[in-house]
Structure 1
Amino acid sequence: MKAWEKLRASREALDKSRDIFRDFARDLYFPALRLSPWQRTRCTPVLFLVEFLVYRVDAVAEHTRDVELETDGNQDYQKLVRYKQRFATLLRRLGAYDEAVGHQLDQGERYVRLENRVTTYGAADHADVMRLVELRSSDLRLLHTMIYPLLGRPVDQHLLDVLWPVEVLADIGNDLAHYEHDVRTGNFNAYDALVRLYGPDAPQRLRDETARYERMFHERLDGFPDGQRTHLAALCLRRYRTQIDRIPQPVRSGSDEPSTTKGSA
C-alpha cells in the first residue's frame, strides 16, 4: 500500500471511530450508566483508541475477502490470531479487560470468520445474514463492556441485555443508509443480502426482523424501574428509530437508483 493510501485509510478510520464514539459511547453508554464528567474523561481516550484499532481488523477482513480463513495454517489466519492476542494484551495493560471484554473479542473474531466465509463463497442463507448483523455490532459492545473494568465496576448484565437489540437495530439502520454505496462497491450489506435472497419481498422480510428486535428491546426494558425505563427508552429510540424507518426498494440489475419505502411504526 502506498503512503498516500495508508494516510487516507488512517483518516477514514479516524472519522469512523469518531462517529462511533460519539453515537454510542458519548450519547448512549455514558448517559445510560450515568457517568460523572470525571468518569467520562477516564474512559474517553481508551475507548476512542480501541475503536480506532478495531478498524485494523476490518482491514484484515477486507484483504482476505477471497481467502479462506478457516485454514489454520494460512498467513491471514495467523495474522488474525496474532492481532487478537495483541489486542487482548493491550486491553489488559490499559486496565480495560475482563471476562465480558474477552467474550466480545471472541464475538468479533466469529464475525470476521463468518463474513469471510460468506464473501469467499458468495452465498448466505437467512440465518447467516442475521447472525452477521448480530455479531457485527460486537465492536459496540466491546466499548460498553470496557467501561466496567476501567471504572472498577461489576458488569451490569441487565443493561448489556437491554442494549443488545438496540445495537443490532442501529447496525441494520447503518446498512440501510449505506445500501446504495455497498451495492456499488461490493461490500457486505445485510439488506442487500436479503434482497439477493428474497427479491421484491426483501423490505417486508427486513421489517419482520426489525419488529422482532424491537419487541425484544421493549420486553427487556419492561424489567427496569419506571424512571430508568423512561431514561433508557429516550436514549435508545433516538439511536435507531428513524434509521430503520425508511427502507430502500431493492436495486434491480445494479443500475437503478433505490427509492425508499416507509417502514412500520
Structure 2
Amino acid sequence: MSMMRNLRTAASQRAKRLLASAATHVAPPIRRGIETAISEGLHGPVLGSSLKQQLKATPVRLTARYLAFTVKRARLKELAPEPVGGNLSGYLAGLRDAGIEKALARLCARIPDGARARRDVTELAEVEFGVRHGVAKPERLRRLLELAPSELRLVRDLGRPWDRDGDEELRETLRPAETLAYLAWDLKQYAGATRPIKRTNLYAAFVDAYGDAAPERLREEIAHFEAQFEAGLRSVGAADRERLERAFTLHCAPLRDAFPEPAADRHEEEGAVEGVSSAVVLFGMLCAVGWLVAYVAIVYRGFADQTYGVPLAAFFANLTWEFAYGFLLDPLGDYFHTASIFGFLVDAVIAWQVWKYGAAQFPNSALGRYFRPLFGLCVAAALSVNYHAFIDLADPDGEYTRFGINLMMSILYLKMLEDRGSPAGQSMYIAIGKWLGTLCAWIATALTVTTSPKQTWPTSWSDFTRKSLGSRSYPLTPLINVMYGWTFLLDVAYCVLLHRSIKAAGMSPWRRL
C-alpha cells in the first residue's frame, strides 16, 4: 500500500478545491454532463487522447450516453411495482424507447466486450431499483459500486480503437479507478446537497444500509477497490501506469478527506418516483410549438425584409442559452434538453441573418464598421455568462436564466419597434408565438410544483393558483413569478403596438407571416 500512501500525500489542494466547488454548486440535473467531463478528465490523460480525437468522438459518445441512460430508465419502469405509464409522458417514452436498445446494441458491437457493457447497464438498473425501494442487501452494495460507472465505461470505449498490446489490461485496471472516482464525486454531492439526497447516491446507499457505521464500512470497500487498482497497475506498461496514477490522484482526492456526517433523514422518500407529470410534458410541448411558430416567422421575415427579427442583446443571450442547455448541461437528458438542440439549430439560421444584415442597421457608425468582430465577442461573453449563471445560481432547469432572457427580450422588442419606426423583421405570428410559448413555459413550471407523476393535474384551480403563486422554492420562486408577470404584460403591450404599426403601414396583420 506504499504507493497508495504516496498518492494520498501527493493529492493537491487545488484538486480538492476544484472538486469541492463543483459538488457544492452544480445541481443534480447537470450531473450527467459533469460526470462526462469527469470521465474525460480521467480517461483523456490515461488513454492519451488528443483534443482532436476527443472532439471527433464527442457526437457518438453523447449518443451512447443518452442510449445507455434511456435503456436503464426503461428497465426501471419495467421493475416498478406501480408503473406510471398510461399517460402522455409514458406513451411518448414508450415510443422513444422502442428502438433504443437496438441502437445501443449496434454501438456496443463496436467496442471490446460490448455484451458485458450492455449487461452492466441493465444490471445497474436492477440494483438501483432495489436501492431506491429500500430492499438493497448490504452484500449487493459492492456490486452497486462496481456497476455505478457503467454508462461512463461505455462512453469511454467509444471513439478509440482498442487494438494496442496491453489495452485489455488497461481497461481492467481502469474499472476500480472509475469506481473510486465515481464514489469521490458522490461523496462531494452528499456533502453539498441542498435537496433531498437520492438513495442511489453511493454514500447514501451505505448510510441506509449501515447507519452511523457507513463511513467505516465504506472505507473497507475503498480498500478493496484500491487493492484491485494496485494489482492492475502492475500489469500495465510504465507510461500507462504513470498516467493512471496521475489521474487517480486528481479525481480520487476526496476519498482521503473526512466523510460527510450520515444523515438518513435527508434522503429521498422510499420508492420515490422520478420525473414530472404528463401535464408538465404537455405544456412543455406547447411551449415548444409556440416558440417554433415564432422562430419560423422570425426566419421568414428576416429573409423577406433583409434584416434580423430578434433584438441583438436578447439574440446573443438566447443563442448561447440554447447551446449551453442543449449541449453542455445534461445533453439529450430529457425532452426539454433535446428540444433546445433544435432551438439552437434555428438560432443558428437567425445568427446567419444577424451576421449578414446586422452591419447595415448601423450605417456610418463604429458599431456598423466593427459589427462582425463584435458579433464574435458578444457570443463569447454571452456564453460564459449564461453557463456560469446556470451553475452559480444553482439553476439546472434554466428557470432564472430563461425567464430573465425572456423579460429582456420583451423590453427590447418594444424598443426595436420604436427605433425602426416600422414593423420590419416583425410580425404578429412572432409576437403571438413568443407570448404563447412563454405562457406555456410558466404553466409547465407551475405544474412541476402542483403535480407529480402520480397526480397529473392539480386538484383545483384555486389550489393551482395558491401553490404556484405562493411557491417559495426552486423551480418556481417569487423572482421567477415576478419576471414572468412583467414579461406577460410587456408581451401583451407588444402585440397591441405591433398590430397598430402593421395596420398603419397599410398591411394586414394576419396575412403578414
TM-score of the aligned structures, taking structure 1 as reference length:
0.72
Residue 86 (str. 1) matches residue 103 (str. 2): yes
Instruction: Show the counterpart of 1:43.
Output: 57
Residue 162 (str. 1) matches residue 176 (str. 2): no
Q: Deviations over 1:13-55 (max 9, x none)?
A: 6x44432332212x22232222344433321221123224433
How many Å separate the matches in 2 of 1:59 and 1:102?
19
Q: Secondary structure in 2 aligned to 1:248?
A: coil
Q: Measured at CA, do residues 137 and 68 of structure 1 come closer, stay the same or move farther in structure 2, by a change above 3 Å?
A: farther
Question: Is the CA contact 2:46–2:244 (under 8 Å) kept in the aligned structure 1?
Answer: yes
The residue type paired with residue 166 of structure 1 is A
How many Å separate the matches in 1 of 2:132 and 2:233?
36
Report the Cα offset of residue 191 of structure 1.
2.0
Question: Is the CA contact 1:111–1:132 (under 8 Å) kept in the aligned structure 2?
Answer: yes
Instruction: Show the counterpart of 2:213.
Output: 201
Question: Is the CA contact 1:176–1:244 (under 8 Å) kept in the aligned structure 2?
Answer: no
Question: Is the CA contact 1:169–1:240 (under 8 Å) kept in the aligned structure 2?
Answer: yes
Q: Secondary structure in 1 aligned to 2:128?
A: helix
Residue 143 (str. 1) matches residue 149 (str. 2): no
- 5+ residue gaps, structure 2, are 1-26, 84-90, 268-513
How many Å separate the matches in 1 of 2:74 and 2:226?
32
How many Å separate the matches in 2 of 1:164 and 1:203?
22
The residue type paired with residue 163 of structure 2 is R
How many Å separate the matches in 2 of 1:55 and 1:48?
11
Q: Measured at CA, do residues 174 and 60 of structure 1 come closer, stay the same or move farther in structure 2, by a change above 3 Å?
A: farther
Residue 21 (str. 1) matches residue 36 (str. 2): yes
How many Å separate the matches in 2 of 1:229 and 1:185?
36
Residue correspondence of structure 1 range 1-265 to structure 2 within 5 A: 15-25=30-40, 27-57=41-71, 59-60=73-74, 66-67=80-81, 83-89=100-106, 91=107, 97-120=110-133, 122-148=134-160, 151=161, 153=163, 156-179=167-190, 181=193, 184-243=196-255, 245-251=257-263, 253-254=265-266
Report the Cα offset of residue 229 of structure 1.
1.8
Report the Cα offset of residue 204 of structure 1.
0.8
Question: Is the CA contact 1:170–1:240 (under 8 Å) kept in the aligned structure 2?
Answer: yes
How many Å separate the matches in 2 of 1:127 and 1:144?
28
Tell which deviates more after alignment, 34-43 or 203-212: 34-43
Tell which deviates more after alignment, 123-132 or 170-179: 170-179
Q: Measured at CA, do residues 166 and 59 of structure 1 come closer, stay the same or move farther in structure 2, by a change above 3 Å?
A: same
Report the Cα offset of residue 206 of structure 1.
0.8
How many Å separate the matches in 1 of 2:153 and 2:113?
9
Q: Measured at CA, do residues 12 and 115 of structure 1 come closer, stay the same or move farther in structure 2, by a change above 3 Å?
A: closer
Question: Is the CA contact 2:181–2:251 (under 8 Å) kept in the aligned structure 1?
Answer: yes
The residue type paired with residue 143 of structure 1 is V
Q: Measured at CA, do residues 161 and 41 of structure 1 come closer, stay the same or move farther in structure 2, by a change above 3 Å?
A: same
Question: Is the CA contact 2:128–2:144 (under 8 Å) kept in the aligned structure 1?
Answer: yes
Question: Is the CA contact 2:131–2:199 (under 8 Å) kept in the aligned structure 1?
Answer: no
Report the Cα offset of residue 205 of structure 1.
0.8
The residue type paired with residue 86 of structure 1 is A
How many Å separate the matches in 1 of 2:39 and 2:264?
34
How many Å separate the matches in 1 of 2:260 and 2:162?
44
Q: Deviations over 1:201-233 (max 9, x none)?
A: 111111111122112212211233334322220
Q: Deviations over 1:35-86 (max 9, x none)?
A: 34443332122112322443334544665674389xxxxx999997853223
Q: Measured at CA, do residues 158 and 81 of structure 1 come closer, stay the same or move farther in structure 2, by a change above 3 Å?
A: farther
Report the Cα offset of residue 112 of structure 1.
0.7
Tell which deviates more after alignment, 111-120 or 228-237: 111-120
Question: Is the CA contact 2:198–2:204 (under 8 Å) kept in the aligned structure 1?
Answer: no
The residue type paired with residue 108 of structure 1 is V
- Structure with max Cα Rg: 2
Q: Measured at CA, do residues 129 and 79 of structure 1 come closer, stay the same or move farther in structure 2, by a change above 3 Å?
A: farther
TM-score of the aligned structures, taking structure 2 as reference length:
0.40
Report the Cα offset of residue 110 of structure 1.
0.9
Tell which deviates more after alignment, 28-37 or 107-116: 28-37
Superposition RMSD in Å? 3.5
Question: Is the CA contact 2:70–2:97 (under 8 Å) kept in the aligned structure 1?
Answer: no
Report the Cα offset of residue 169 of structure 1.
0.8
How many Å separate the matches in 1 of 2:66 and 2:256?
26
- 5+ residue gaps, structure 1, are 1-10, 70-74, 256-265
How many Å separate the matches in 1 of 2:251 and 2:199?
23
Q: Measured at CA, do residues 210 and 199 of structure 1 come closer, stay the same or move farther in structure 2, by a change above 3 Å?
A: same
Report the Cα offset of residue 199 of structure 1.
2.0
The residue type paired with residue 202 of structure 1 is A
Q: Secondary structure in 2 aligned to 1:204?
A: helix
How many Å separate the matches in 2 of 1:131 and 1:112?
12
Q: Report how many residues are paired.
A: 231
How many Å separate the matches in 2 of 1:130 and 1:152?
28
